[in-house]
Amino acid sequence: MDKIEYRVVIKYLVLKGNTSTQNKHKLDSVYGVSAPSFTTVKFWAAEFKRGRKSLGDDERSGRPKTATTDDNIAKVHQMVLDDRRIKVREIAEIMNISKERVCHILNQDLGMRKLSARWVPRLLTLDQKRVRMNISNVMLAQFRRDKCEFWRRLITVDESWIHHYIPETKIQSKQWTAKGEPVPKKAKIVISVGKVIATVFWDSHGIILIDYLQKGKTITGAY
């Protein structure tokens, strides 16, 4: 969708009395990932509220010799802090500078880079983080007090699903063949549906116990 068309929609929503946050939600619900960023929506909403009539970009009499000024760096930094997913193109349009200059400001002057979110097993709450930090501090104090006794008493536990049958890997199925012999074949086999959860306890000397959970039971505090 053309940027002018987005601005038409933003102007219509502003005239209806919506806030920038409401406008952003409505655009996201219709256009999805192609919708303009919150910074862009907020900028044009402010322009229309001030009475701007034109939907096009302001006429440019020529870009300054250098766009890397302290003022521009501060503005770009604030835009990124307001919207961590803002696009370089959108910053360039708002700031009226080239995308190359925006990249230079972000990478060289601000030392920033755009990274994809890293997958983690779960997101901890502040209380959970605080509990883990307190436990870590207690264990660290015990370790510093008596390292040998700490390692002697420390027991680690982990759980893992174990399938009844796991097919061999491609590397494991390799065979030596002579020139002219047919390529070995094997049927495609998937990991078995049947599985059991194993709880493993170990210390610095090795495995202490492996407990296999009985079918129909769940791991609880009492278990």
Q: Both 71 and 141 in a single domain?
A: no
Q: Taking the alpha carbons of 149, 151, 153, 154 in that order, is the dihedral positive or negative?
A: positive
Domain assignment present for 115: no
Mean pLDDT score of the chain? 85
**Considering its fold, how many domains does the chain have in total?**
3
Contacts within 8 Å (CB) and 24+ apart, 166-171: 166/191, 166/192, 167/191
Most confident of the ranges 32-36, 119-123, 132-136, 165-169? 132-136
Q: Both 100 and 13 in a single domain?
A: yes
197 close to 161: Cβ distance less than 8 angstroms: yes
Range of the domain at 210: 155-223
Backbone angles phi, psi at 211, to 5 degrees: -110, 125
Q: Both 149 and 174 in a single domain?
A: no
- CB under 8 Å to 94, separation ≥6 — which residues? 39, 40, 43, 79
Domain assignment present for 169: yes
Q: Both 172 and 207 in a single domain?
A: yes
Q: From 109, 142, 167, give the residue that closes a domain.
A: 109
> For the residues 84-103, what does the mean pLDDT come to?
89
pLDDT value at 49 more than 60: yes
Q: Both 20 and 88 in a single domain?
A: yes
Tokens of residue 29, six digits: 């619900």
Question: Is 0.75 surpassed by the pTM of this model?
Answer: no
Q: Both 79 and 142 in a single domain?
A: no
Q: Both 96 and 189 in a single domain?
A: no
Distance CA 27, CA 21 (A): 10
| pLDDT tens readout for residues 159-180 | 888 877 777 777 888 888 888 8
Domain assignment present for 87: yes
